[in-house]
Amino acid sequence: MRMDFDTLALQWHGPHVLQVTLDRPESANAINTQMGRELESLWAALTEDPGEVRCIVLTGAGDRVFCAGGDLKERDGMSPAQWQRQHELFERMYWLLTDLPLPVIAAVNGHAYGGGFETLLSCDFAYAAEHARLALTEVTLGIMPGAGGTQNLPRAAGERRAKEILLTGRPISAQDALRWGIVNAVHPGPQLLPRALETAAAIASNAPLSVRQIKKSVRYGTQMELRTAFRFEVEAYNRLVDTEDRREGVRAFNEKRAPAFTGR
């Protein structure tokens, strides 16, 4: 897996946790075309072959902004065709993030506006710094969310809350985001990344195949009627029965030791 990017910084934490940092602090970590290409490349590589990666923490550079969304300075003066070509790139990137087999925790270190808010909504769950503010401001710019905001936000916060956020474009606090189910926890800024990495390490210590099957079952099962979803869950469960990790987990339990999972 490639580790050198112009707009991203990658860092290992232990053998199985990868921190991915949106690294354009001079531009509020806004997503320009280059960052879109690099995120698309990274998510595609991790989908094809995650190697030793078992969990990802996604954050932004600095302590003020997680991600300001699409880079409006780069977009200024774009023709409709250029805008749409760029957005098609962003669409592919967001779908790859959403469908990534590995769990992704957003560590929202500061403000998340527009596509930055949609990025955290595309992750499996999120922790936020207590000073962070979140907004989908597209309606104030003559556009609308186009990377899952109108779909993921109602699923997290409910339709009525989502409509208020989407139609006003007004920011909400991290505390409101917590109350409304958009983020899982709020931490003081200096504690945010350590807490997210701690959770990522706990996930990474579990059986990798189990983690991936659970993520898949939740993601697709919630889009089905209940009986079909139950059947989907059982199919996902049955794929784990004849694995080395299942046998290792049971042995470790009976031998009263920590299991050594290999992802096989």
118 is catalytic: yes
Considering the candidates 48, 52, 130, 138, report the single residue annotated as catalytic.
138
Catalytic pick among 26, 118, 164, 244 = 118
Specify whether the CB–CB gap between 114 and 137 falls below 8 A.
yes
User: What are the residues facing 258 on neighbouring strands?
Assistant: none
Separation CA 78–CA 120 (nearest Å): 26
- CB neighbours of 165 closer than 8 A, spacing ≥ 6? 135, 136, 153, 157, 172
Provide the strand spans (E) within the chain.
Answer: 8-13, 17-22, 55-60, 65-67, 104-108, 111-113, 125-129, 133-135, 172-173, 185-187
Q: Count CB-CB contacts under 10 A for residue 260.
A: 10
Q: How far is CA 223 from CA 66, 80, 105, 226, 246, in A?
A: 29, 33, 21, 9, 28
Q: Which amino acid is at 65?
A: V
**Structure-block tokens of residue 35:** 């960052």
Residue 244 designated active-site? no
Q: Are 148 and 100 in contact (CB under 8 A)?
A: no
Kindly give the pairing relationship between strand 104-108 and strand 55-60.
parallel
Residues 209 and 188: their CA atoms lie apart, in Å, by 33
Give catalytic residues, as residue numbers.
118, 138
